[in-house]
Each structure stands twice: as C-alpha cells, then as structure tokens.
Amino acid sequence: QVQLVESGGGSVEAGGSLRLSCAASAFMYDSLCLAWIRQAPQKEREGVAIIRRDATADYVDSVRGRFTISRDNAKKTLYLQMNNLKPEDTGLYFCAARAGSCPMLGPMLIRQLTSWGQGTQVTVSS
C-alpha cells in the first residue's frame, strides 16, 4: 500500500505560481506511475498530468505549457510546478499512483489509480 501526502496548496492571484509536493512511503517507488488529479467544485475529477517510470510526462491540454510534473525517486516525492495560474485551475489537487504502466489521461486513468492522497486545495482569484 502506497501512502501519499500532498502539500503546497494555497491561494494566489491569477498569473501567480504554486508548487505542489507529494511525499510517498512506498516500496519500489521508482516503478510507480504517478499522477496529479484535480477536482473543481461541482465537477468530476480530472487528470492533470502523469509521469511514467522513465520520467516522460503527459498533460491535459488546459495546463500544457504552464504546469510541469516531475519526480525525485531518491526522495520519493512527486512535484507539480504550476505557473501562470488561472481561476479555472481552482480545485482540490490529489496525487495518485498505480504500479506499472501509466494509462492515458482520461476517465480510465482515474479508475485505475489505486493509491490516493488526501488532497491539497488550490484557489486562484481573478
């Protein structure tokens, strides 16, 4: 079982930046598929970014070019650098993981993630 704990959320004005972190306690962390998922108020969860074992990454179109996902396997920590934040980025951000390969971003990914953190709130004001 992978334990995940997010941190780094907060309130910023549009155009600002935040860096989220997700600390893990996991055996064979470097073999995990890792993801950031967000849930806006009254909306379904949405896959924001994934990072594979080989450190390649994918992003949802709405954040590509603004967000960067990265992982430090030695520290067992996942990051999400968020720049040029927009009000529509507001939501509860979760890190999540599964063993093995990463499904493509989308509803299938969310169903296949097996370990979740408790979430960290990001609020962007206009």
Instruction: Specify the pLDDT at position 106.
Output: 85
Mean of per-residue pLDDT scores for the chain: 95
Count CB neighbours of 97 within 10 A: 22
The Cα angle at residue 124 between residues 38 and 11, in degrees rounded to 5 = 95
- Best CA proximity match to 38, nearest among 103, 96, 108: 96
Residue 36 per-residue DSSP state: E
> How far is Cα 8 from Cα 36, in angstroms, rounded to an integer?
13
Residue 1 has pLDDT above 80, yes or no: no
Residue 112 has pLDDT above 90, yes or no: yes
Between β-strands 3-7 and 115-116, what pairing exists: parallel, antiparallel or unpaired?
unpaired
Instruction: Specify the pLDDT at position 120.
Output: 98
Residue 96: which residues within 8 A CB-CB, separation 6 or more? 4, 34, 35, 36, 37, 110, 113, 115, 116, 117
Backbone angles phi, psi at 94, to 5 degrees: -115, 140
Model confidence pLDDT, tens digit, residues 25-84? 988 899 999 999 999 999 999 999 999 999 999 999 999 999 999 999 999 999 999 999
